[in-house]
Amino acid sequence: MKRKFFKLPLFFSFFFFYGYISGQNNFDKTLSHPKDTNEVKRLIDVAGEYRFSKPDSSIILAEEALSLSRQLNFVSGEGNALITLGEDHRLGGDFPQALEALFHALQISRDIGDQEMEAASLNFIGVAYVDLGEPRQGLNYLFQAKELNEKHSYTIMDCFGLTIIGGAYEQLNIFDSALFFHEQAYQVLNSINSADITSSPLRSLVLRHLGNVQYHLGNYDKALSYYRQVISNNDLLNISGSQFQIAEYFFKIKNNPDSSLYYALLAFNNAQKSFQKTYILDASKILAKLYKARNKLDSAYYYHEVALEMNDSLFGSEKTHKLQLLAINEQQRQQEIQQEKEKFKSRIKIYFLLAAVGLFLLLAIIFYRNNRRKQKTNKVLQDTLANLRSTQSQLIQSEKMASLGELTAGIAHEIQNPLNFVNNFSEVNEELLKELNTEADKGNLDEVKAIAKDITFNSEKINHHGRRADAIVKGMLQHSRSSSGIKEPTDINALTDEYLRLSYHGLRAKDKSFNATMQTDFDNSIGKISIISQDIGRVILNLINNAFYAVDEKKKYTLISSVQNGYEPTVSVSTKRNNGKVEIKVKDNGNGIPQKVLDKIFQPFFTTKPTGQGTGLGLSLSYDIVKAHGGEIKVSTTEKEGTEFTIALPA
């Protein structure tokens, strides 16, 4: 299997390496310090300084720091020593040892709650997996590190981690994601307020990977610009990688073997200086190809042997086996951690369950005591409720009978008219019958026929007005009795007109001074609609009675106060088909409803009339009736100008 390599130096070394590359401390000086926690920290620092100049010494110092930390029981020192040792092994190409140390550091960081150490461990574990050509495994740890870096503002570590994430996406050939994370890393880098960062290896690392992405996207000029910036920084840690990419550009893209050889040799030499085996491997591979093309087989053979040696050192069968064992151990460790989490969750659930049971028992005792008290009061409440329901039924019936009482005078007036016609035509027929007998005795047949014809016509009139009186009486009985609850096709125009006249005549009969103009505008296209006529009739009657009451009150006020001369009380009733519904509107030009009580008018027992003149149930019952029909009742009002109620019923 062909492996891809991705070289990332330890970010702490970015700052240590350049402080000591020109003149290094003697290793012997480390032996003259007291064995305490400060010595652990110093050993870790010096190990970082030696990483790229004396890698073997760096490993010895890191192991000494680790041993001393354990002797002193200095747990955080042990974790940082393991991170340093892990990076030393990673850069030396010993990935199994590196991952073993880093996983141990990760466990320590979580045990002691050191999230900065945890973020570093996760980052470097991710680096190791990416170096191994396992980018997806690496991303699993890198994104965990990213969350901690952003949460705690570990800015330098965040920049480093974002670059590694971008590198992982490079390996996956997902270059849009790679570019996104590299640009994020560049933004974080520019936000760091430090003069040292301008020429630091961290900056070179970010620029090198921006160049790599542009190279893979085919933007070669941009890529070369980034690589040259890295080279101008004179950064030994990243210069080899940039020179290798330039060599590959001239070899694969420009077909310029001379320039490719020049940069490949530079990359190889600089990789040897920084002891970075993956760069030595990459450079030796391309050099072997270049010398073979030039027919310099001895040089080609030499670099081929170097490549084989580096590949075996990095990815030999023994190390592969160790990696497999390490992966199995880590998987087992993760399973143990997950099992511990599940056990902890189970314990928490048990504790909550016990607490819930205890709370339930306590509540059961409280509820039992309260229940005994409530049982004593429930009887009183039930009796009270029964009385309230009885009273409510009586009030509703009173409201119905009150509306019936208001109709009585109007009905009497309506019945009187057809009765007068019946009486008059009966008297006329009586006279005609006498005249018929007289003419019959005379034998005047033609006159007898004419009189008989008049009697027949008058009889028809008597019959017509009799039926009219019968219909009025039936309507009164229908209004007074309980609703059948059955909807029937009803002429809404006729129903509305009938209750308008009954209401008006009823009020006139009670108060001879009452007078008002009635206006109607009925939509003849409506036809019949399915309603319970008794119920809708009560609603219409209630609204019309209220309208007449409102205009009459305003008229009385104008007479007393001598204002608004020329006021003419007017009640308008109209019907209209609108958007699949039938609208019935009752409008008056009274004083309107005050805004402060407008929200209360449909509440039971609320009334603006003086005590004794209203039950407060009229509009409440009307609202319930209309809702039961699947309709709605709305009101619009303007104080001092009037009110309009609108009933909307399904057509």
Instruction: For residue range 261-287, list pLDDT tens digits in order.
Output: 999 899 899 888 877 778 888 889 999
Residue 316's pLDDT is what?
59
In Å, how far are 425, 426, 433, 448, 456 from 439, measured between CA atoms? 20, 20, 10, 6, 17
Residue 114's pLDDT is what?
93
Average pLDDT over residues 606-625: 76
Average pLDDT over residues 14-29: 38
CA distance 323 to 581: 79
pLDDT confidence tier of residue 207, bands split at 50, 70 and 90: very high
Tell the burial category of 336 from Cβ atoms under 10 Å away from its Cβ (0-12, 13-18, 19+): exposed
Q: Which of 34-38, 128-132, 371-375 has the lowest mean pLDDT?
A: 371-375
CA 40 to chain centre: 52
Q: In 274-316, where does DSSP find H-type helix?
A: 277-293, 297-315
Residue 561's pLDDT is what?
67
Of 233 and 24, which is predicted with more confidence? 233
In Å, how far are 124, 175, 223, 445, 500 from 449, measured between CA atoms? 128, 115, 125, 6, 44
Q: Report CA Rg, the chain.
A: 52
Q: What is the pLDDT of residues 153-193, one digit of tens each?
A: 888 889 999 999 999 999 999 999 999 999 999 999 888 87
Average pLDDT over residues 571-579: 93
- Are 212 and 230 a contacting pair, CB within 8 Å? no
Specify which of 11-15, 370-374, 635-639 reaches the highest per-range mean pLDDT: 635-639
What's phi and psi for 565, nearest 5 deg? Answer: -60, 140
Q: What angle do CA 161, 163, 195 make, to 5 degrees?
A: 90
Average pLDDT over residues 123-151: 91
Residue 76's pLDDT is what?
93
Contacts of 261 (CB under 8 A, 6+ apart): 247, 287, 290, 291
- To the question of pTM greater than 0.85 for the whole model, the response is no
- The two tokens of residue 337 are 């951690």
- Are 14 and 52 a contacting pair, CB within 8 Å? no
CA 78 to chain centre: 47
Is residue 517's pLDDT more than 50? yes
* Domains of the chain, first to last: 1-152 (1.25.40.10), 325-478 (no CATH), 488-650 (3.30.565.10)
Is residue 522's pLDDT more than 90? yes
Q: Give me the count of residues in the chain.
A: 651
Helix 155-171 crosses helix 135-152 at what angle (to 10 degrees)? Answer: 160
Dihedral sign from CA coordinates of 613, 619, 621, 626: positive
pLDDT confidence tier of residue 374, bands split at 50, 70 and 90: confident
- Pick from 595, 132, 594: nearest CA to 322: 132
